Structure formats: C-alpha cells, structure tokens
Structure 1
Amino acid sequence: MPENSTAAGKVPVDFWFDPLCPWAWMTSRWVLEVEKLRDIEVRWHVMSLAVLNESRIDELPEKYADVMRTTAWESVRIVIAAQQKHGDEVVGPLYNALGTRIHNNGEGLTREAYAGALADVGLPADLLEYADSDAFDKELRASHQEGIDKVGQDVGTPVIAVPGSDGKQVAFFGPVVTPAPKGEDAAKLWDGTLLVASIPGFYELKRTRTQGPVFD
C-alpha cells in the first residue's frame, strides 16, 4: 500500500505501539476519536520498549530494567504472533482489547489480562504461549525497526507517521496527551499534527508532564 493512501482513499496514519505503555494507549484513544471526525485510516504496528532499551538496559533504574528484560516482551510477542498467524487486521482489535484490560480495567501485565483479551476478540487461546516464545522475534524486531527508521532513535512509544507536504510520511513520537482529547479538540490536534508535518525542518515541541495518564 502506498505511504500516502489507503485502499479506501483515506489519509493513512501509521501507529506504532507497545501495549504496556500507558502513553501510547492514551494517544491511540485520540487517534481513534479522530477516525470518527476526519477521513483517516489507522494502520497498527508493534513497537517494543524492550527492544528499544536493549542497548541501554544497564543505565535504566533497576525496577524498570527488570521489566524490560522480562514482562515487557510478553504482550508484544502475543500481538506479533497473532499478526503473523491471523493477519494484519487482528492487530488493532487485539491492541484495543489488551489496552482496555491492562490500563482501563487495571488488570496490568498479567496472563489473565492477555488471555481475556484474546478471548474478547475471538483469537485462539494458544496464542498466549507466545508470551514466552521468541518464535516471531525477527518479525517483532522488523516491525519495531520500521517505525524507528522513520522517526529516529531518541523516542519512546507511541510513534505515528502521517503524510507531509509532499505526500511522503513524516514520523513523530507522540503526541503525548492526557486525557485523550475528544470531539473538536481531537480534530484540532489532528489538524495541527498535519500542519507541523507539512513544515520542512520541524522536529519537536515539548513541555514537562504534570499529570499522569487519565483513562476514561
């Protein structure tokens, strides 16, 4: 599929996420709201904080490093296995189910949350086994790298890629929002994202976060 169009002729938004990241979850709620208000289509891709942090694992706080070595691999491996075995179309619904359980419902990064999410979207329960399997790590790393190649190394999740002024994709980390904007606010943030993407040489706007994720 071309970068600047979808099968339905809508504006594509490529979205890289890690299910464990609450900020990616907030941004995903925003972009789904935008889908109701603007002629866009979200294309979902896995990105891995475990992969992102591999080269700097010894520099991370001990508690976070332990998560990156262990739990952080589980949900992304399940999603990539589902994609490889059942197609791209299951990625978005599975992410929605995982995020709802992990974040909104407070179930956390647990096997119960993963199993429940698989059941919620009608995927086979045996996909849970891939939480501990490196069978599709090559594909996981390739999906992750595709996003990183577009945006650069100094980022986290989420990463979004949207058309720039010449139609070629421009990728950003973020937008980081809480709570997720709704209605006209969501649409205005989308319009602003396209606006800054259209400016050659634009890279970053940032301010200190003063509020944690608000799941509503």
Structure 2
Amino acid sequence: MARTVDFWFDPSCPYTWVTSRWMVEAATVRPLDIRWHVLSLSVLNEHREVDPEGDTQGYLWGPVRVCVAVEQRYGQSGLERFFTAYGRRVHEGGEWVPFGEVLADAGLPTELAAAAETAEYDEAVRASHAAGIRLVGEHVGTPIVVTDDGAGNRFAFFGPVISRIPRGEEAGRLWDGVVLVATVSGFHELKGRPPVQPQF
C-alpha cells in the first residue's frame, strides 16, 4: 500500500526543485503517493526587515499565484505538470521565461499566466502556506514534507536540503533514512556540510 507524502514547495527555490526530483525518484523505488502543495517564501518573509531571498520587487509572488490558479482549475495533475515544466525551464534550463511559455510546456492554458499579476489568488496562497508551516513552524522554509510512520501517525519535517538528485535505490535509501530520523521523538535538526550549488 502506497504511503501518502504531502510536499509543500515554493517553485522558485532551486534546492526545493532538487528535493522534489528526489521525491519523484524515490517514488519509483518505494510505494509513495506524492501530493503537491504551495508554500510561499514571499509570505514567509513579508514581515522581516531584510528579505533573505532579496526579492525586493515581489517577483516570487508570481509563480505561487500561477501554481494556485492551476491547481484550482486542474487539480493535482495540473499543479504537478506546471511545477515540473517550471523547474525544467527555470532551474535546469536557466531560462526566466514568461509564465505562458511554461504553461504551454505543461499542456495548460496560457491565459492562466495572468494570475501572476493579480492578488486574486493570494488568499489561497496564504492558506496553503499556513497549512504547511503550522506543521513544522516559521523557523523553516521550503520544502516541507509530511507523511506517516506506517502506523498511521503523521509527522512533518523541513527538507532535506540537497544539491544533487539521488537516483534509483540511493533515492530510496535516503527516503528510508530521513523517515527514520524524523520519526524519532524529540528530533529537531540535522545539518551537513555547507551547501554547494544545485546540480541538475
């Protein structure tokens, strides 16, 4: 029986993109059913004196607004397709292309690109963000992963933050290890070496 994994992401974070591709890879070697949810770095950082993302123009609102607009009309399938197309263009391809082109890549109506320029979807963005953050806390960012321990007990964690996508059984072993650590009562944080640039 597949284990449900809820994955909260801001599509603009390159490390989150790497982690999301690891999750997709892990699902090929472990029985995982991934559900995608929007988390917003813009919402997370809006009351901070200094935005750690350096997004003074508010660009990061655009991708999450389009994500929510897509999800509302085309559900999980549409959201996954848009996120995948966005990650391939922006993170892997290094192309900051118009949202309409990404939507076309995903087989979705290009008019949904207009969502990026309106606050119409901000309430839904905030609600999705809040649903993920309340599970871990505002001391974290993107991604947040929620699953169960096999006995029906749900648990959540931030990360893992990785710079390379594990493949095949390596992806499965990382999943097993992360779940093992995250389910230990009292577990809070584990860090490795300083980050390197994401490898796509």
Equivalent residue letter for 2:54:
Y
Partner of 2:38: 46
Q: CA deviation at 1:195?
A: 0.8
More displaced stretch, 144-153 vs 190-199: 190-199
Q: CA deviation at 1:156?
A: 1.2
Equivalent residue letter for 2:60:
A
Partner of 1:85: 73
Partner of 1:64: 54
Partner of 2:145: 160
Give me the identity figure in percent.
43
Question: 1:27-52, CA deviations, whole angstroms, 9 ceiling, x for partnerless residues?
Answer: 00100000100000110000000000
* Residue 171 (1) aligns with residue 156 (2): yes
Describe the SS at the equivalent of 2:17: helix
Partner of 2:18: 26
Distance 2:91 2:188 in 1: 30
Distance 1:81 1:165 in 2: 33
Of 121, 125, 128 in structure 2, the residue corresponding to residue 136 of structure 1 is 121
Partner of 2:95: 107
Partner of 2:192: 207
After superposition, the Cα gap between the structure-2 partners of 1:165 and 1:121, relative to the gap in structure 1 and judged at 3 Å, is closer
Which stretches of structure 1, 4 residues or longer, exceed 4 Å deviation after superposition? none
Question: 1:114-138, CA deviations, whole angstroms, 9 ceiling, x for partnerless residues?
Answer: 2222111221111010111111111
Distance 1:169 1:55 in 2: 30
Distance 2:150 2:182 in 1: 7
Q: CA deviation at 1:93?
A: 1.2
Partner of 2:106: 121
Of 11, 16, 23 in structure 1, the residue corresponding to residue 8 of structure 2 is 16
Question: 1:110-161, CA deviations, whole angstroms, 9 ceiling, x for partnerless residues?
Answer: 42xx222211122111101011111111111000001001111101111111
Describe the SS at the equivalent of 1:36: coil
Describe the SS at the equivalent of 1:180: coil
More displaced stretch, 165-174 vs 38-47: 165-174
Q: CA deviation at 1:171?
A: 1.1
* Residue 145 (1) aligns with residue 135 (2): no
Distance 2:51 2:61 in 1: 16
Describe the SS at the equivalent of 1:59: coil
Aligned residue pair count: 200
Distance 2:161 2:17 in 1: 10
Q: Is the CA contact (8 Å cut-off) linking 1:163 and 1:197 kept in structure 2?
A: no
Of 84, 87, 106 in structure 2, the residue corresponding to residue 96 of structure 1 is 84
Give the root-mean-square deviation of aligned CA atoms: 1.5
Question: How high is the TM-score relative to the length of structure 1?
Answer: 0.87
Equivalent residue letter for 2:69:
A
Partner of 2:47: 55
Q: Which runs of 5+ in 1 are unaligned?
A: 1-8
Distance 1:164 1:39 in 2: 13
Distance 1:183 1:156 in 2: 27
